[in-house]
Amino acid sequence: MRRHLLELAAASALTAFSIATAFAHASLETPTAPAGSYKAVMRIPHGCDGQATHTVRIDIPEGFVGVKPMPKSGWTIDIEKGDYARSYDLHGERVSSGVKAVIWSGGALPDQHYDEFVVRGTLAGVEKGQKLYFDTLQRCAGAEVAWTGHPADGQDPHSLDHPAPMVTIAERTADGHGHAHGAAADDMPVVAGDLEISAAWAKAMLPGQPAGGGYLTITNTGDEPDRLTAVTSPAAGAVEVHKMEVVDDVMTMRPVDGGLEIPAGGTVELKPGGMHLMFMQVAEPFRDGGRVPVTLDFEKAGKVELTLPVTRAGGAMDHSSH
Protein backbone atom coordinates (compact mmCIF):
# COMPACT_ATOMS: atom_id res chain seq x y z
CA MET A 1 0.00 0.00 0.00
CA ARG A 2 2.90 2.34 0.67
CA ARG A 3 3.73 2.52 -3.03
CA HIS A 4 0.12 3.43 -3.87
CA LEU A 5 0.07 6.16 -1.25
CA LEU A 6 3.20 7.73 -2.69
CA GLU A 7 1.80 7.60 -6.21
CA LEU A 8 -1.37 9.23 -5.04
CA ALA A 9 0.53 12.01 -3.26
CA ALA A 10 2.59 12.65 -6.40
CA ALA A 11 -0.54 12.75 -8.54
CA SER A 12 -2.32 15.23 -6.32
CA ALA A 13 0.74 17.48 -6.09
CA LEU A 14 0.82 17.55 -9.88
CA THR A 15 -2.87 18.44 -10.06
CA ALA A 16 -2.46 21.28 -7.59
CA PHE A 17 0.47 22.60 -9.61
CA SER A 18 -1.35 22.62 -12.95
CA ILE A 19 -4.41 24.30 -11.43
CA ALA A 20 -2.22 27.03 -9.93
CA THR A 21 -0.40 27.73 -13.19
CA ALA A 22 -3.55 27.69 -15.33
CA PHE A 23 -5.40 29.97 -12.97
CA ALA A 24 -4.22 33.35 -14.13
CA HIS A 25 -5.74 32.82 -17.58
CA ALA A 26 -9.34 32.30 -18.58
CA SER A 27 -9.55 28.53 -18.98
CA LEU A 28 -11.89 25.58 -19.22
CA GLU A 29 -12.31 23.51 -16.09
CA THR A 30 -12.21 20.29 -18.15
CA PRO A 31 -9.37 20.68 -20.67
CA THR A 32 -9.64 17.23 -22.23
CA ALA A 33 -12.83 15.43 -23.15
CA PRO A 34 -13.94 12.67 -25.49
CA ALA A 35 -16.51 13.24 -28.23
CA GLY A 36 -20.01 13.44 -26.82
CA SER A 37 -21.73 15.47 -24.16
CA TYR A 38 -19.49 18.23 -22.79
CA LYS A 39 -19.99 20.84 -20.10
CA ALA A 40 -17.75 23.81 -20.81
CA VAL A 41 -17.07 25.59 -17.53
CA MET A 42 -15.27 28.82 -18.38
CA ARG A 43 -13.25 30.11 -15.45
CA ILE A 44 -12.70 33.85 -15.34
CA PRO A 45 -9.93 34.50 -12.81
CA HIS A 46 -9.75 38.31 -12.73
CA GLY A 47 -11.04 41.52 -14.31
CA CYS A 48 -9.53 43.79 -16.94
CA ASP A 49 -6.56 45.72 -15.51
CA GLY A 50 -8.12 45.84 -12.07
CA GLN A 51 -11.64 46.69 -13.25
CA ALA A 52 -14.79 44.66 -12.67
CA THR A 53 -16.06 42.52 -15.57
CA HIS A 54 -19.60 43.32 -16.72
CA THR A 55 -19.74 41.20 -19.89
CA VAL A 56 -18.35 37.81 -20.88
CA ARG A 57 -18.66 36.54 -24.44
CA ILE A 58 -17.75 33.00 -25.46
CA ASP A 59 -17.52 32.12 -29.15
CA ILE A 60 -18.55 28.52 -29.69
CA PRO A 61 -16.01 26.60 -31.76
CA GLU A 62 -16.93 24.48 -34.77
CA GLY A 63 -17.54 20.91 -33.54
CA PHE A 64 -19.32 21.96 -30.33
CA VAL A 65 -22.97 21.65 -31.28
CA GLY A 66 -26.42 21.78 -29.71
CA VAL A 67 -25.08 24.33 -27.24
CA LYS A 68 -27.17 25.71 -24.38
CA PRO A 69 -25.97 28.26 -21.84
CA MET A 70 -26.63 27.79 -18.13
CA PRO A 71 -28.57 30.75 -16.68
CA LYS A 72 -26.61 32.80 -14.21
CA SER A 73 -28.24 34.90 -11.54
CA GLY A 74 -27.51 38.62 -11.94
CA TRP A 75 -26.52 38.23 -15.59
CA THR A 76 -28.55 38.52 -18.81
CA ILE A 77 -27.86 35.92 -21.47
CA ASP A 78 -27.89 36.60 -25.20
CA ILE A 79 -27.13 34.03 -27.82
CA GLU A 80 -26.03 34.41 -31.41
CA LYS A 81 -27.07 31.67 -33.79
CA GLY A 82 -25.70 30.80 -37.17
CA ASP A 83 -24.76 28.04 -39.58
CA TYR A 84 -22.08 25.51 -38.77
CA ALA A 85 -19.35 24.89 -41.33
CA ARG A 86 -20.83 21.43 -41.88
CA SER A 87 -23.68 19.33 -40.56
CA TYR A 88 -23.49 17.01 -37.54
CA ASP A 89 -25.32 13.99 -36.27
CA LEU A 90 -26.89 15.04 -32.96
CA HIS A 91 -28.98 12.41 -31.17
CA GLY A 92 -30.04 10.91 -34.50
CA GLU A 93 -30.81 14.21 -36.20
CA ARG A 94 -28.76 16.14 -38.73
CA VAL A 95 -28.07 19.66 -37.48
CA SER A 96 -26.33 22.35 -39.51
CA SER A 97 -26.92 25.45 -37.42
CA GLY A 98 -27.10 26.44 -33.79
CA VAL A 99 -25.62 28.64 -31.09
CA LYS A 100 -22.37 30.28 -32.22
CA ALA A 101 -21.79 32.67 -29.32
CA VAL A 102 -23.11 33.19 -25.80
CA ILE A 103 -22.94 36.57 -24.11
CA TRP A 104 -23.50 37.15 -20.40
CA SER A 105 -23.95 40.84 -19.59
CA GLY A 106 -25.17 43.21 -16.91
CA GLY A 107 -23.31 41.45 -14.14
CA ALA A 108 -20.58 42.69 -11.86
CA LEU A 109 -17.58 40.46 -11.30
CA PRO A 110 -15.02 42.35 -9.19
CA ASP A 111 -11.37 42.00 -10.19
CA GLN A 112 -10.48 40.22 -6.95
CA HIS A 113 -13.22 37.61 -7.45
CA TYR A 114 -13.41 34.52 -9.60
CA ASP A 115 -16.47 33.20 -11.43
CA GLU A 116 -17.57 30.51 -13.87
CA PHE A 117 -19.71 30.72 -17.00
CA VAL A 118 -21.18 27.47 -18.22
CA VAL A 119 -22.46 26.13 -21.52
CA ARG A 120 -23.41 22.57 -22.37
CA GLY A 121 -23.36 20.88 -25.71
CA THR A 122 -21.99 17.97 -27.71
CA LEU A 123 -18.51 17.58 -29.12
CA ALA A 124 -19.34 16.16 -32.54
CA GLY A 125 -17.38 15.24 -35.63
CA VAL A 126 -14.14 15.64 -33.69
CA GLU A 127 -11.06 13.43 -33.64
CA LYS A 128 -8.72 12.43 -30.89
CA GLY A 129 -6.02 15.07 -30.36
CA GLN A 130 -8.02 17.83 -32.06
CA LYS A 131 -8.08 21.15 -30.18
CA LEU A 132 -11.17 23.34 -30.00
CA TYR A 133 -10.57 26.98 -29.07
CA PHE A 134 -13.23 28.89 -27.14
CA ASP A 135 -12.42 32.52 -27.93
CA THR A 136 -13.52 34.50 -24.90
CA LEU A 137 -13.94 38.21 -24.38
CA GLN A 138 -14.18 40.00 -21.05
CA ARG A 139 -15.51 43.55 -21.05
CA CYS A 140 -15.10 46.02 -18.19
CA ALA A 141 -16.10 49.68 -17.89
CA GLY A 142 -13.04 51.05 -19.65
CA ALA A 143 -11.10 48.05 -20.88
CA GLU A 144 -11.43 44.57 -22.25
CA VAL A 145 -9.44 41.37 -22.34
CA ALA A 146 -9.60 39.10 -25.39
CA TRP A 147 -8.59 35.51 -24.70
CA THR A 148 -8.25 34.73 -28.38
CA GLY A 149 -4.64 33.67 -28.92
CA HIS A 150 -4.28 30.44 -30.90
CA PRO A 151 -0.80 28.91 -30.90
CA ALA A 152 0.82 28.31 -34.28
CA ASP A 153 1.89 24.75 -35.09
CA GLY A 154 4.52 23.73 -32.58
CA GLN A 155 4.15 26.91 -30.51
CA ASP A 156 3.74 26.57 -26.76
CA PRO A 157 0.32 28.05 -25.84
CA HIS A 158 1.90 29.23 -22.57
CA SER A 159 4.01 31.67 -24.55
CA LEU A 160 0.87 33.57 -25.59
CA ASP A 161 -0.23 36.53 -23.47
CA HIS A 162 -3.92 35.77 -23.80
CA PRO A 163 -4.36 32.20 -25.03
CA ALA A 164 -7.88 31.16 -26.03
CA PRO A 165 -9.28 28.58 -23.59
CA MET A 166 -9.24 25.20 -25.27
CA VAL A 167 -10.35 21.62 -24.98
CA THR A 168 -8.34 18.74 -26.43
CA ILE A 169 -10.34 15.80 -27.69
CA ALA A 170 -9.50 12.61 -25.83
CA GLU A 171 -10.02 9.04 -26.91
CA ARG A 172 -13.48 7.80 -26.22
CA THR A 173 -13.16 5.02 -23.68
CA ALA A 174 -16.72 3.78 -23.40
CA ASP A 175 -17.94 1.92 -26.43
CA GLY A 176 -21.33 1.74 -24.80
CA HIS A 177 -22.34 -1.64 -26.12
CA GLY A 178 -22.39 -4.06 -23.28
CA HIS A 179 -18.85 -3.68 -22.03
CA ALA A 180 -19.47 -1.55 -19.00
CA HIS A 181 -16.67 -3.03 -16.98
CA GLY A 182 -14.21 -3.20 -19.84
CA ALA A 183 -15.02 0.39 -20.72
CA ALA A 184 -13.91 1.50 -17.30
CA ALA A 185 -10.76 -0.56 -17.34
CA ASP A 186 -8.40 2.09 -18.70
CA ASP A 187 -8.29 4.08 -15.48
CA MET A 188 -9.35 1.35 -13.06
CA PRO A 189 -8.86 0.49 -10.35
CA VAL A 190 -8.56 3.86 -8.67
CA VAL A 191 -6.46 3.44 -5.53
CA ALA A 192 -6.80 5.68 -2.50
CA GLY A 193 -5.11 4.63 0.70
CA ASP A 194 -6.39 1.14 1.48
CA LEU A 195 -9.30 1.40 -0.93
CA GLU A 196 -9.50 0.20 -4.51
CA ILE A 197 -12.41 1.31 -6.65
CA SER A 198 -13.21 -0.55 -9.83
CA ALA A 199 -16.01 -1.44 -12.26
CA ALA A 200 -17.42 2.06 -12.08
CA TRP A 201 -20.05 3.12 -14.59
CA ALA A 202 -23.29 5.03 -14.89
CA LYS A 203 -26.37 3.95 -16.77
CA ALA A 204 -27.52 5.91 -19.79
CA MET A 205 -30.79 7.73 -19.01
CA LEU A 206 -33.92 8.32 -21.04
CA PRO A 207 -34.77 11.86 -22.15
CA GLY A 208 -36.64 13.63 -19.37
CA GLN A 209 -35.60 11.09 -16.75
CA PRO A 210 -34.69 13.13 -13.66
CA ALA A 211 -32.55 10.58 -11.81
CA GLY A 212 -29.96 8.04 -12.85
CA GLY A 213 -28.02 5.13 -11.40
CA GLY A 214 -24.28 4.71 -10.93
CA TYR A 215 -22.37 1.58 -9.97
CA LEU A 216 -18.93 0.70 -8.65
CA THR A 217 -17.04 -1.80 -6.55
CA ILE A 218 -15.04 -0.75 -3.49
CA THR A 219 -12.47 -3.09 -1.97
CA ASN A 220 -10.85 -2.34 1.37
CA THR A 221 -7.40 -3.98 1.50
CA GLY A 222 -6.63 -2.53 4.94
CA ASP A 223 -7.34 -3.89 8.38
CA GLU A 224 -9.64 -1.10 9.49
CA PRO A 225 -13.13 -0.39 8.19
CA ASP A 226 -13.74 2.79 6.22
CA ARG A 227 -16.98 4.58 5.44
CA LEU A 228 -18.28 6.35 2.35
CA THR A 229 -19.91 9.42 3.88
CA ALA A 230 -20.76 11.61 0.88
CA VAL A 231 -20.88 11.57 -2.89
CA THR A 232 -21.03 14.66 -5.10
CA SER A 233 -21.04 15.25 -8.84
CA PRO A 234 -21.14 18.40 -10.95
CA ALA A 235 -23.61 16.49 -13.17
CA ALA A 236 -26.26 16.17 -10.45
CA GLY A 237 -27.84 18.38 -7.81
CA ALA A 238 -27.50 15.59 -5.26
CA VAL A 239 -26.10 12.07 -5.11
CA GLU A 240 -27.20 9.44 -2.60
CA VAL A 241 -26.20 5.86 -1.91
CA HIS A 242 -29.37 3.79 -2.17
CA LYS A 243 -30.14 0.28 -1.06
CA MET A 244 -32.98 -1.94 -2.20
CA GLU A 245 -35.54 -3.08 0.32
CA VAL A 246 -38.72 -5.11 0.10
CA VAL A 247 -41.53 -3.23 1.87
CA ASP A 248 -44.99 -4.87 1.81
CA ASP A 249 -43.84 -7.16 -1.01
CA VAL A 250 -42.78 -4.15 -3.09
CA MET A 251 -39.15 -3.53 -3.96
CA THR A 252 -38.26 0.01 -2.96
CA MET A 253 -35.06 1.96 -2.63
CA ARG A 254 -33.98 4.25 0.14
CA PRO A 255 -30.83 6.10 1.18
CA VAL A 256 -28.27 4.21 3.24
CA ASP A 257 -28.28 5.90 6.66
CA GLY A 258 -25.03 7.07 8.21
CA GLY A 259 -22.81 6.33 5.23
CA LEU A 260 -21.81 3.09 3.58
CA GLU A 261 -19.38 0.95 5.55
CA ILE A 262 -16.54 -0.76 3.69
CA PRO A 263 -15.46 -3.54 6.08
CA ALA A 264 -11.78 -4.27 6.68
CA GLY A 265 -10.64 -6.72 4.03
CA GLY A 266 -14.08 -6.59 2.45
CA THR A 267 -15.64 -5.65 -0.87
CA VAL A 268 -18.85 -3.70 -1.38
CA GLU A 269 -20.47 -3.90 -4.77
CA LEU A 270 -22.91 -1.32 -6.07
CA LYS A 271 -24.61 -2.94 -9.04
CA PRO A 272 -27.92 -2.97 -10.91
CA GLY A 273 -30.67 -4.49 -8.81
CA GLY A 274 -28.78 -3.79 -5.59
CA MET A 275 -27.10 -0.87 -3.94
CA HIS A 276 -26.40 1.99 -6.27
CA LEU A 277 -25.46 5.63 -6.50
CA MET A 278 -28.54 7.70 -7.22
CA PHE A 279 -27.90 10.86 -9.18
CA MET A 280 -30.76 13.27 -8.57
CA GLN A 281 -31.66 16.64 -10.08
CA VAL A 282 -29.72 15.67 -13.19
CA ALA A 283 -29.72 18.68 -15.52
CA GLU A 284 -28.84 16.76 -18.67
CA PRO A 285 -29.73 13.04 -18.80
CA PHE A 286 -26.60 10.86 -18.98
CA ARG A 287 -26.01 9.79 -22.54
CA ASP A 288 -24.43 6.64 -23.80
CA GLY A 289 -20.73 7.36 -24.33
CA GLY A 290 -20.65 10.29 -21.92
CA ARG A 291 -18.73 10.54 -18.68
CA VAL A 292 -19.91 11.46 -15.20
CA PRO A 293 -17.33 12.87 -12.79
CA VAL A 294 -17.91 12.02 -9.13
CA THR A 295 -16.16 12.74 -5.86
CA LEU A 296 -16.43 10.06 -3.18
CA ASP A 297 -15.73 11.20 0.37
CA PHE A 298 -14.43 8.50 2.70
CA GLU A 299 -13.91 8.86 6.45
CA LYS A 300 -10.33 7.54 6.29
CA ALA A 301 -9.28 7.51 2.63
CA GLY A 302 -10.54 11.08 2.12
CA LYS A 303 -11.84 12.47 -1.13
CA VAL A 304 -11.50 10.28 -4.20
CA GLU A 305 -12.29 11.59 -7.67
CA LEU A 306 -13.20 9.36 -10.55
CA THR A 307 -15.15 9.40 -13.77
CA LEU A 308 -17.93 6.97 -14.57
CA PRO A 309 -18.30 6.09 -18.25
CA VAL A 310 -21.95 6.10 -19.29
CA THR A 311 -23.25 3.00 -21.02
CA ARG A 312 -26.56 1.33 -21.71
CA ALA A 313 -25.25 -1.95 -20.34
CA GLY A 314 -26.80 -3.96 -17.54
CA GLY A 315 -29.44 -2.68 -15.25
CA ALA A 316 -32.86 -4.03 -14.48
CA MET A 317 -33.35 -0.98 -12.27
CA ASP A 318 -35.88 1.59 -13.27
CA HIS A 319 -35.13 5.00 -11.85
CA SER A 320 -37.89 6.84 -13.67
CA SER A 321 -40.13 6.75 -10.59
CA HIS A 322 -37.77 9.00 -8.62
Footprint of Cu ion on this chain (CB under 5 A)? Answer: 242, 253, 278
- Nearer of residues 128 and 254 to Cu ion, judged by Cβ: 254
Q: Report whether the peptide linkage leading into residue 285 is cis, meaning its omega lies within 30 degrees of zero.
A: no
Nearest one of 211, 186, 180 to 314, comparing CA atoms = 180
Tell the smallest beta-carbon distance from residue 255 to Cu ion (Å).
8
Nearest one of 56, 40, 145 to 105, comparing CA atoms = 56
d(C-alpha 260, C-alpha 299), whole Å: 10
Tell the smallest beta-carbon distance from residue 207 to Cu ion (Å).
19
- Nearer of residues 210 and 302 to Cu ion, judged by Cβ: 210
- Nearer of residues 39 and 242 to Cu ion, judged by Cβ: 242
Tell the smallest beta-carbon distance from residue 210 to Cu ion (Å).
12
Handedness of CA 121, 127, 129, 135 (dihedral sign): negative
| In contact, 124 and 37? CB cutoff 8 Å | no
- Nearer of residues 50 and 255 to Cu ion, judged by Cβ: 255
Tell the smallest beta-carbon distance from residue 228 to Cu ion (Å).
15
In the chain, % helix, strand, coil (3-state, to 5) comes to: 10, 50, 40
- Burial pattern 5-20, b for ≥16 Cβ within 10 A else e, equals eeebeeeeeeeeeeee
- Nearer of residues 54 and 203 to Cu ion, judged by Cβ: 203
What single letter denotes the amino acid at residue 273?
G
Tell the smallest beta-carbon distance from residue 322 to Cu ion (Å).
6
- Nearer of residues 146 and 256 to Cu ion, judged by Cβ: 256
Tell the smallest beta-carbon distance from residue 253 to Cu ion (Å).
4
The continuous run of DSSP H or E covering 114 comes out as: none
Tell the smallest beta-carbon distance from residue 276 to Cu ion (Å).
6
Nearest one of 294, 288, 283, 281 to 200, comparing CA atoms = 294
d(C-alpha 136, C-alpha 162), whole Å: 10
- Nearer of residues 131 and 312 to Cu ion, judged by Cβ: 312
The gap between the terminal CA atoms of the chain, to the nearest Å, is 40
Tell the smallest beta-carbon distance from residue 232 to Cu ion (Å).
16
Nearest one of 307, 302, 306 to 292, comparing CA atoms = 307
Tell the smallest beta-carbon distance from residue 237 to Cu ion (Å).
15
- Burial pattern 140-177, b for ≥16 Cβ within 10 A else e, equals beeeebbbbbebeeeeeeeebeebbbbbebbebbbebe
- Nearer of residues 253 and 294 to Cu ion, judged by Cβ: 253
- Nearer of residues 67 and 278 to Cu ion, judged by Cβ: 278
Three-point CA angle 5, 9, 13, nearest 5°: 170
